[in-house]
Amino acid sequence: MFTEHAISVAIVNSFSEKLIDGFDLDVAIVGAGPSGLVAAKYLADAGVKTALFERKLAPGGGTWGGGMLFNEAVVQQEALHILDAFNISYKEVKDGYYTLDTVEMASGLIFGAMKAGAKMFNSVSVEDIVFKENQVGGLVINWTPVERLGMHVDPLTVMAKAVIDGTGHPSEIMKLASSKAGIKLDTETGGVIGEKPMWAETGENQTVESTREYYPGLYACGMSASNVSGGYRMGPIFGGMLLSGEKIAEIIVNKLKK
């Protein structure tokens, strides 16, 4: 029979094992939005040791609210194979476009990534990167409540062969790398260019096209890739985000095999 003491000990022991194992990774993904979750599943499926670090309590990024709190979103036909891989349902509208329930999508992406073997650390903020010998090699993490309360608490460090910026519109890790390490990113300006206004079709294509390695050890996917490279905004259509996650996983798996 479980006692109150046994329950507490079980939680602390189990989480401690998971956290210690998460200090040494193949891939650390910052941000558990749709592209990061897709990347996590495909990386884990390939046997790559992967963990997601999500600042908020609930993973899923901007998926939950759909378009203006109508919890529906659009996905184009090219990305349906990813929804099928996560067992997420959808219905056809017309012209190769489909709608889906964003609550099902968010929960399905989270469940699929974790069942594949990726680890999730929510309520964890990334405050810095590890930068050694001109390569990004990990993250500096702390609890989100510590960050938000401005408490003077030293962080801990996660080492990784690859870091993915999946932080969405802010491209937070790219900005950290550029400002603190003086990294020249693989963009037209060498820095974060910033997001352009709405142009859904072009924005979708650019999100996938801009998904790549921007500096040794540092990658971007989803809206972060679009923002760092100066792409257009696309709104509540998610095919590009899903395809971006699939692409960045393929890039990293191929690189780690070399």
Q: What is the pLDDT of residue 2?
A: 81
Cα–Cα distance between 222 and 224 in angstroms, integer? 5
Tokens at 137, concatenated? 């090699």
pLDDT for 96 beyond 80: yes
CB-based contacts of 100, cutoff 8 Å, min separation 6: 72, 73, 75, 83, 88, 89, 90, 91
- CB 251 within 8 Å of CB 257: no
Work out the number of other CB atoms within 10 angstroms of the CB of residue 24. 12
Question: 199 exposed, middle or buried (CB, 10 Å; 0-12, 13-18, 19+)?
Answer: middle
3-state secondary structure of 43: helix
Amino acid occupying residue 201: E
Q: Would you state the pLDDT for residue 258?
A: 80
Q: What is the pLDDT of residue 23?
A: 98
pTM over 0.95: yes
- The three-state secondary structure class of 132 is strand
Q: Which residues contact 83 (CB under 8 A, 6 or more apart)?
A: 75, 89, 90, 100, 105, 242
Cα end-to-end distance, the chain, whole Å: 51
Instruction: Give the pLDDT score at 84.
Output: 98
**Residue 95, pLDDT above cutoff 90:** no
